[in-house]
Chains A and B, each alone.
Chain A
Amino acid sequence: MRKFNLTALHYLIGSGLLLFSLLVQSEPALLQDNEQKGRAIFEEIDRRDLGFNDFSSRQEMVLRNKSGQESRRIMDNTVLEGDTDGDKTLIVFREPKRIRGTALLTHAHSQRDDDQWLYLPALGRIKRISGASKAGSFVGSEFSYEDLAPQEVEDYTYEYIEDEIYAELDCFKVVRIPKDEDSGYTRQIVWIDKKEYRIQQIEFYDRKHTLIKKLTVSGYQKYLDQYWRPGRLTMINQQDGKSTDMIATNYIFRQGLTGADFSENSLRRVR
């Protein structure tokens, strides 16, 4: 209960929604229900995505600054589903060509900082890097490392707000608050469609509780008759007008990958 109040306080400072302060005082039981409902929604998202084992995709990032100049990054992304701990991801850069073959391996952990290695092919060097770089920009894009990291239910506390129509879809609107102090956010507001439990939009609030970024997700397709994956993610910085489009193609599921394909040693033979 104490933990919840703290969460609510956080939220209050951030949103300034007086309505909620009234609710906290008058109907704490309802809020506790909302907390459980919010969490249940994300548990359902997690449950629906279980069992994919592994998938890979090609991702093209188009970075735009406020004057409309563009820059492109292309990478191949492979994910291995975690059984007891977090997922493992391998990102291999293709463009710009100067950094092609550079690979970033992440072992996500639910209870501690992620382990991360960077492979620099020109030097043949595998460099262990700090997994605490959550808030840092990913290759200059509007996506930070934590935006792209595998999401675990335990990474956040939740609170269901209301139902809302978003992009003609009947959605849940849920606030989630990162537990990790290294996170660049105080909270995120997430829209999830009720029918398929897919994230449609996220609003990110920074440490100063201002709306910093907005992510819209579109072009969902269903794979193996179960797993929904997006075709496009658009992150728009609300403060400086910069944006990044991420276009995902070539999804391939269940190539039969194992932990050995995501070991530090495997980085040496990455292509």
Chain B
Amino acid sequence: MRIFGHTLVLILLTLFFPFASWCWEFEGELSGQTRYFPYSPAYPGQKSQNQSIAIELSAYHEFTNSVSLEFIPFYRYDFQDDERSHGDIRKAYALWATPRLEIGLGINKVFWGVTEAIHLVDIINQTDLVEAPDQEEKLGQAMLSLSFPLSTGLLDIYVMPYFRERTFPGEEGRLRSSPRFDTNNPIYEHQDKDHHVDWAVRLKQNFAQGELALSYFEGTGRDPGLITPVMSSEQLLIPYYPQIKQVGLEAQYIKDEWLWKLETIYRKGQPNLHFEVEDYYATTGGFEYNIYSIFATTQDLGIIVEGIYDQRSDTALTFNEEDVVLGARWSLNNLNSTELLALWIQDIDTSAHNFILELSTEFGNSIAVTVEAWIFSEHSRPDSSSDIGADNLGYLIRRDDYLQIEIGYYF
């Protein structure tokens, strides 16, 4: 990726310079982040706190009404974790838009889905896991995309020639597995490795009171399987990227203040925890209910209730195989646009749960502060035959509860 990234930056720079005198829009965000882990680390080398700084720049240019270029590089320097010090091109994307067809070429970010807690259907971009454990941060994906606007919908086709590996925390980083992932030597099912050409298609239809989308993906799976090498001096997990096929369904129905949501996938080719290919379906859904002007004030409250189900249950390589999600989003609608988000994710079979609290507020036009608290409950180890049982995934980060403060400066 490094070589690819550098080449791309060079190509883009040479492309950009001739137009430097044209009207470009430049913006950016500089942020400092600190994390405090109240519990002593579970694995040697880990630290009890973490500091990092990050920068994201954005350059945008419109050549004509229908042709535009966008370039968004990102870099984070982490003072403790080498693996979390990383750069990425979030976007380097040329778009040609006509009323009948939109053609996009380059690195872009595409989101699919309707639910709030987890995003099952979303598959175009790889997760930038070192950024945040909620898996909402994504790596830029190289693609050619074709979009055909329909009368009340949209047909999207994506061809993705280059695969991105998931990022994982390094030895000094918290929120990691033990043994940790060896991100330098991933194994691919396909001989073309990270040059396998993936493709996807999504058909979306809007209705008066809702929307429906059907999608299909074929190519290198974004979620890695785990290989524990027998012959190795250092104990490391090797990420294994399989060839998968996935059908996805998204549905949303809106009635007054109620938003009903559903996401379902059926995936073939994904190895499970025991490294056996197990085809499965998984679903998540629920509702969001919004109360405006609560307590006769201008404050708004949104209630989120969702369920998560994964057919593989204990062999699923995920934190969420049978969970209930309760959440609330409280917008104070004050001068500082203060917002509070609380999410409780409860496992149905065990007492395991995650609790996430996020407070964000703005100071003036250019500064925003975000405070996050994450609590992982699996402080005791459930019975399991395997070394890293599905129920034990949470156990791996049992001592990694943390408080994070981030200050962002926007320019």
With A and B bound together, what is the CA distance between A264 and B257 in angstroms? 20
Please, which residue of chain A has its CB at the minimum distance from the CB of B147?
A: A265
Contacting residues, chain A, for B25 (C-beta < 8 A): 271
Binary interface profile of A, 66-85, with partner B (CB < 8 Å = 1, else 0)?
00011110000000000000
Are B362 and A132 closer than 8 Å at their CB atoms?
no
Binary interface profile of A, 2-43, with partner B (CB < 8 Å = 1, else 0)?
000000000000000000000000000000000000000000
Q: How many residues of A contact B (CB 8 A)?
A: 41
For residue B97, CB closer than 8 A to chain A, the reply is yes
Residue B97 contacts which of A115, A258, A269 (CB distance < 8 angstroms)? A269
Contact of A65 with B335 at beta-carbon distance under 8 Å, contacts A95-B365, A137-B298 already known = yes
With A and B bound together, what is the CA distance between A135 and B71 in angstroms? 39
Contact of A98 with B333 at beta-carbon distance under 8 Å, contacts A184-B293, A264-B206, A269-B97 already known = no
Sample (26) of A-B pairs whose CB atoms are under 8 Å apart: A72-B365, A97-B366, A97-B410, A97-B411, A99-B337, A113-B256, A115-B208, A123-B111, A123-B136, A124-B108, A124-B111, A130-B254, A131-B254, A132-B257, A135-B293, A136-B292, A136-B293, A136-B300, A137-B292, A137-B300, A140-B298, A142-B298, A264-B154, A265-B102, A269-B97, A271-B60
For residue A96, CB closer than 8 A to chain B, the reply is yes
State the total of A-B contacts with C-beta under 8 angstroms.
106
Binary interface profile of A, 98-123, with partner B (CB < 8 Å = 1, else 0)?
11100000000000110100000001
Contact of A71 with B333 at beta-carbon distance under 8 Å, contacts A100-B410, A182-B256 already known = no
Binary interface profile of B, 389-407, with partner A (CB < 8 Å = 1, else 0)?
0000000000000000000
Are A130 and B97 closer than 8 Å at their CB atoms?
no
Contacting residues, chain A, for B335 (C-beta < 8 A): 63, 65, 69-71, 140
Contacting residues, chain A, for B364 (C-beta < 8 A): 96
For residue A139, CB closer than 8 A to chain B, the reply is yes
Please, which residue of chain A has its CB at the minimum distance from the CB of B335?
A: A71
With A and B bound together, what is the CA distance between A263 and B293 in angstroms? 29
Contact of A269 with B365 at beta-carbon distance under 8 Å, contacts A130-B290, A132-B257, A137-B333 already known = no
Secondary structure at the A interface, as helix, strand, loop or mixed, is loop
How far does the Cβ of A143 sit from chain B's closest Cβ, in whole Å? 10
Can you list the 4 inter-chain pairs with the closest CB atoms, starting with the nearest? Answer: A136-B292, A97-B410, A71-B335, A137-B298
How far does the Cβ of B76 sit from chain A's closest Cβ, in whole Å? 15
Binary interface profile of B, 361-394, with partner A (CB < 8 Å = 1, else 0)?
0101110100000000000000000000000000
Are A96 and B111 closer than 8 Å at their CB atoms?
no
Contacting residues, chain B, for A72 (C-beta < 8 A): 365
Contacting residues, chain A, for B27 (C-beta < 8 A): 97, 100
For residue B68, CB closer than 8 A to chain A, the reply is yes
Are A269 and B211 closer than 8 Å at their CB atoms?
no
- With A130-B290, A136-B298 known, 18 other A-B pairs at CB within 8 A are A65-B335, A70-B335, A96-B364, A96-B366, A97-B365, A112-B208, A113-B256, A123-B111, A124-B109, A125-B111, A128-B252, A128-B254, A133-B290, A135-B293, A139-B337, A264-B154, A265-B102, A271-B25
Contacting residues, chain B, for A126 (C-beta < 8 A): 111
Contacting residues, chain B, for A137 (C-beta < 8 A): 292-293, 298-300, 333
Are B408 and A124 closer than 8 Å at their CB atoms?
no
Are A128 and B292 closer than 8 Å at their CB atoms?
no
For residue B235, CB closer than 8 A to chain A, the reply is no
Are A260 and B149 closer than 8 Å at their CB atoms?
yes
For residue B182, CB closer than 8 A to chain A, the reply is no
Are A128 and B211 closer than 8 Å at their CB atoms?
yes
For residue B110, CB closer than 8 A to chain A, the reply is yes
With A and B bound together, what is the CA distance between A96 and B211 in angstroms? 31
For residue A169, CB closer than 8 A to chain B, the reply is no
How far does the Cβ of B67 sit from chain A's closest Cβ, in whole Å? 11
